[in-house]
Structure 1
Amino acid sequence: TAAAKVKSEIKTEEGEKENNPKPKTKTSNPKPPRAKKPRAVVKTEPPENWEEIYSLVQEMRASKLAPVDTMGCETLADPTVPPRDQRFQTLIALMLSSQTKDTVTSVAMKNLQGNLPGGFNLESILAVEPDSLNDLIGKVGFHNLKTKYIKNTAEILKEKWASDIPDTIPGLVSLPGVGPKMAYLCLSAAWGRTDGIGVDVHVHRITNLWGWHKTNNPEETRACLEAWLPKEKWHEINTLLVGFGQTVCLPVGRKCGECTLAEKGLCKSA
C-alpha cells in the first residue's frame, strides 16, 4: 500500500543517516557570554556639591554660545506658521537630529521650510515623493531611514492623531524612529509640558564624568536624575549640558583647562 511504501522510505532514510553519519566538523571553543553590566542604582539623595556644579556650568554656558543655542531642535520650527504646524516641525526636527550635528539638522530644516510646495506641514510631507524628501534631508545621518520614518509618521498622525502630533509620551514613542529622549523634548518644546528629562549622549556622558551616578545608558541616567533633580530644572538641563558638551566638555579632547569645575576640583574626571 501507499502507507507502507512511505513507511519503508522513512526507514530507508533513517538507516542511511545512521550508516552514513555526517563528518564531524572541528569547532573552536565558544567564547563565554559577556557578563551583563549591573543596572544602575537609583539614589534619591542629590550628589554632593551638585548645586555649585550646576551654577558654575550655567556661568560657563552664559559666556560662550553653543550650536544648540541657535540651531537646537527647539529653535528650528518656523514661528510664523500656525501652532499645529510648529508642533509638527518640532517633531520632524527631533527625528532628523538623531546621530546628526545641530548645524546639519538646521540646514535640513531650512531646506524643508523653503522647498516643500505648500509650506512645511503634515499635508506637504504626505504629498511629497520619498525621493524628493530624501534629497531635501540628504545631509543628515541615516537620511534614507529617516525619510521612511517621516513618511510613515505623517500617515499615522493623519489616521490616528487628527493630523496633529501626540500630546503624551506613550503616543510620541509609538511613532517610527521616536525614542524617549525625543519624546520628552518634543512634549516640552511643542506642548509646553515637562513630564521627564530628555537625556541625550551629552547629558548621559557628562553626568557620569561628574560622578553623579554610574549608568549604562541614557534611560538609566534619566531615572537617576529624575529621582532627585528639582523638576523646574528638568527642561533646561538638556540644553545646558548639550551646549557644555559642545563647547567645553567635548566627547573627544575635553577642554579641562578651560573648565571652572576642574579648577575647583569639582569634576571627578578632570
Structure 2
Amino acid sequence: MLHVRCSTRVCHVVPCVTMTSPYFMHSRSVITRSGAQNAASSLRSKLTDRRSNVDPVCSVAVKVKVEEEEEEARIVAQRPSSAPLSTGGCQPKTGTLPLCAHSRRKRQVKVEYEKDEGVTPVKTEHWEPPDWKKQLGYIREMRSGRDAPVDNMGAKKCYDPEAAAHVRRFQVLVSLMLSSQTKDQVTAAAMQKLRAHGCTVEHILTTDDEALGKLIYPVGFWRTKVRYLKLTSAMLQNEFAGDIPDSVEGLVRLPGVGPKMAHLAMDIAWDQVSGIGVDTHVHRISNRLGWLKEPSKNPEETRKALEEWLPRELWSESNWLLVGFGQQVCLPVSPLCSVCLNQYSCPSAHKISPTKRPEAGSPRSPKPKTEPEQESTVKRERTKKEPLPTPVPPTAQRRRLKK
C-alpha cells in the first residue's frame, strides 16, 4: 500500500508496514521507521491509562499481564522488519509467527561443572603394621595359660560379685583408682581390706582419712588417693545417686580418674567398649612392636594411634593380652626376647633395654670416679674441716731429741 503526500515543492512516497498485532488493529495507524518510537510511547501511555482503571483488588494479576504486554510492544517496536520493503505492498512475511506466551517463559538453566583433568582425587589409605596379626596371634598363644597377675588380681577380680549392681560398679572404679602406679598384688590386698571394712560410697565418706590411709597402704601415692576417694565418693553421692557415670565424659570428671580408667570402667562395669585402656605395659609394648606410625610419648597418644587402625572388636581383648604379656615376657627392664615367639618379627628384639638405675647405697650402685680436679677440691674441703696441728717451737724439739 502506498500513501502519497503532496506539497507545493516536494512529493515523495513513504513505504509503510501494516502491523498485524491485535493491539494495533483498531487504530490502523501508519508507523514508519522514523516514527516507531512515537508509536511505542503512545502505546505505553494507553497501557498506563488502562492500568489506572483496573480494580485494586486484582491489581496483582493485572500487573503481570500489563508487564507482558509492555514487553511485547517494546520487542515489536524495536525489532527490524524480517522481509525487505517493496513498492508493491507492505504485507508481512507469511512464515513469521506471532509471539506466544510460552515463548516468554524463563527456561531452567542447567549448571554443569567442568572436571579438573589435571587434579587427581586424594586417596586416604588405611595404615596398619605389616605383621600385627601374626604378632597378636603369638601373644594369644603365650597368654593362653592366663596365669599373669592381671588375670587373677586385676580389676575384674577385685569386686564383690554378690553385692548390688551399683556397689559392684563402684568397687571396680575404686580398684582402678588404686591400681595407678601400683602392682596388681598390692592393689588386690588393699581391695580385700576395703571390702572387709565396707567398700561403698557411704562407708568411704564416713571413714576418716587416717583410717582410710591404713586400709589402702602401701599403694603408690596412698595419701593422694585417700583425698581422691573422698572427693569422688562425695561427687557420686550428690550427682549420681551413689552410682558411677555411664559415659567416659562423666567418668573423667571424677577426681583421680583418667582416660585409661574411664575406658576400663566402661568395659568392666557397664559392659560397653568405648576405647582401648592403655597403661604403661600397653604403651611400652606397642612402641616396641612397631604398632604405631611414629613413637608416642605417653599412653594417651598411644591410645589414639591404636584406635586408628586396630579393629574395634579387639579393643577390649588387647588390654589384658598386652598387660599380661608385659608382666611375664616383655618386661620393662631386660625383656625375655629369647623365649618370645615374636623375636624374629619384633623390631626391638634382642636389643639392650634401658637399665634401671639402682638405689643409692645399694651394693650394686657404682661408686663415682673422682677426677683430679675433684680430688683436689675434696682435699681442700677436708683441710678446712679438720683442725690443723699446733706448731711445736724449736727449743721444745731440741729437748725431746736430748731426752
TM range (shorter): 0.7 to 0.9
Structure 2, unpaired ranges of 5+: 1-124, 350-403
> For each residue in 1:77-125, what CA deviation from the matched residue of structure 2 results, as whole angstroms up to 9, or x when unmatched?
11010111000000000000000000000000000011x2xx3211111
Displacement after TM superposition at 1:73 (Å): 1.2
Are 1:104 and 2:183 counterparts? no
Taking only the aligned residue pairs, the percentage that are identical comes to 50
> For each residue in 1:29-61, what CA deviation from the matched residue of structure 2 results, as whole angstroms up to 9, or x when unmatched?
xxxxxxxxxxxxxx8421101111001000001
Are 1:172 and 2:251 counterparts? yes
Are 1:82 and 2:164 counterparts? yes
Corresponding residue for residue 94 of structure 1: 176
Residue pair 1:64, 1:247 contacting (<8 A) in 2 also: no
**What is the number of residues matched between the two proteins?**
223
Q: d(CA) in 1 for partners of 2:334 and 2:240?
A: 44
Opposite residue 339 of structure 2, the aligned amino acid is: E
Runs (4+) off by over 6 Å: none
The partner residue of 2:217 within 138, 145, 155 is: 138
Corresponding residue for residue 159 of structure 1: 238
2:217 alignment partner, SS class: coil
2:242 alignment partner, SS class: coil
Displacement after TM superposition at 1:224 (Å): 0.9
Q: d(CA) in 2 for partners of 1:218 and 1:202?
A: 9
Corresponding residue for residue 341 of structure 2: 260
The structure with the largest helix share of the pair is 1
Structure 1 segment 1-270 matched on structure 2, within 5 A = 44-63=126-145, 65-114=147-196, 116=197, 119-213=198-292, 214-262=295-343, 265-270=344-349
Residue pair 1:112, 1:120 contacting (<8 A) in 2 also: yes
Residue pair 1:44, 1:228 contacting (<8 A) in 2 also: yes
Displacement after TM superposition at 1:63 (Å): 3.4
Displacement after TM superposition at 1:64 (Å): 5.7
Tell me how large the CA RMSD over aligned residues is. Answer: 1.0
Opposite residue 174 of structure 1, the aligned amino acid is: R
Opposite residue 330 of structure 2, the aligned amino acid is: C
Opposite residue 216 of structure 1, the aligned amino acid is: K
Structure 1, unpaired ranges of 5+: 1-42
1:227 alignment partner, SS class: helix
TM-score (norm 1): 0.81
2:199 alignment partner, SS class: coil
TM-score (norm 2): 0.54
Residue pair 1:152, 1:176 contacting (<8 A) in 2 also: yes
Residue pair 1:203, 1:241 contacting (<8 A) in 2 also: yes
Larger radius of gyration: 2
Q: d(CA) in 2 for partners of 1:120 and 1:200?
A: 25
